[in-house]
């Protein structure tokens, strides 16, 4: 199990905005793309994963318990912000701190990028 699969803090800390081309059927989608029903439109050029813009954010695609065992239910088709998130980065440390978890000392080359 990767360190991300025992954390999940990033999925419950940040807004996840991306271009609609990453949606299911979109020109830049991985695999089938992010399911449209898991997003809300923000502007014509931006959509957001549901649950990530609340006072206590939690991505609708996150399953499990933060800090114990988690999984991304759309891992294979997750959007670019999720693919690009680095463990060991300051944003990772901030997210982990929100949940009382210690920062990681993991290089980006070891990062599984996502849960």
- How does pLDDT run across 86-103, given as a tens digit for each residue? 887 899 999 999 999 999
The answer to whether residue 31 is domain-embedded is yes
Separation between Cα atoms, residue 86 and residue 30, nearest integer Å? 19
- What's the whole-model pTM score? 0.85
The answer to whether residue 115 is domain-embedded is no
Query: What's the mean pLDDT in 69-78?
Result: 96
Helices (H) and strands (E) in the chain, counts: 2, 5
The answer to whether residue 28 is domain-embedded is yes
Query: What's the mean pLDDT in 14-35?
Result: 90
The answer to whether residue 45 is domain-embedded is yes
The answer to whether residue 93 is domain-embedded is yes
Q: What is the span of the domain harbouring residue 60?
A: 3-110
The residue written with tokens 């318990």 in the block is 65
Tell me how crowded residue 74 is: count the other CB atoms within 10 A of its CB. Answer: 22
The answer to whether residue 59 is domain-embedded is yes
Query: What's the mean pLDDT in 76-83?
Result: 95
DSSP state of 23: B
| Whether pLDDT at 3 is above 70 | yes
| Whether pLDDT at 106 is above 60 | no
Tally of structural domains, the chain? 1
- Residue 25 tokens, joined: 């059927």
Separation between Cα atoms, residue 83 and residue 71, nearest integer Å? 14
What pLDDT shows up at residue 100?
Answer: 96
- Return the closest-CA partner of residue 61 out of 8, 25, 19: 8
Tell me how crowded residue 56 is: count the other CB atoms within 10 A of its CB. Answer: 8
- Give the Å distances, CA to CA, from 69 to 4, 9, 51, 63, 65: 9, 11, 19, 9, 6
The answer to whether residue 32 is domain-embedded is yes
């Amino acid at each position: 199990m990767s360190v991300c699969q025992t954390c999940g803090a990033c999925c419950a800390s940040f807004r996840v905005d991306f271009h609609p081309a990453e949606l299911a059927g979109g020109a830049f989608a991985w695999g089938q793309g992010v399911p449209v029903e898991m997003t809300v439109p923000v502007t014509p050029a931006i959509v957001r994963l549901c649950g990530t813009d609340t006072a206590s954010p939690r991505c609708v695609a996150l399953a499990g318990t933060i800090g114990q065992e988690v999984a991304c239910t759309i891992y294979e088709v997750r959007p670019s912000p999720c693919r690009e998130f680095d463990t060991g980065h300051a944003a990772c440390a901030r997210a982990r701190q929100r949940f009382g978890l210690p920062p990681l000392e993991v290089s980006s080359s070891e990062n599984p990028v996502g849960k």
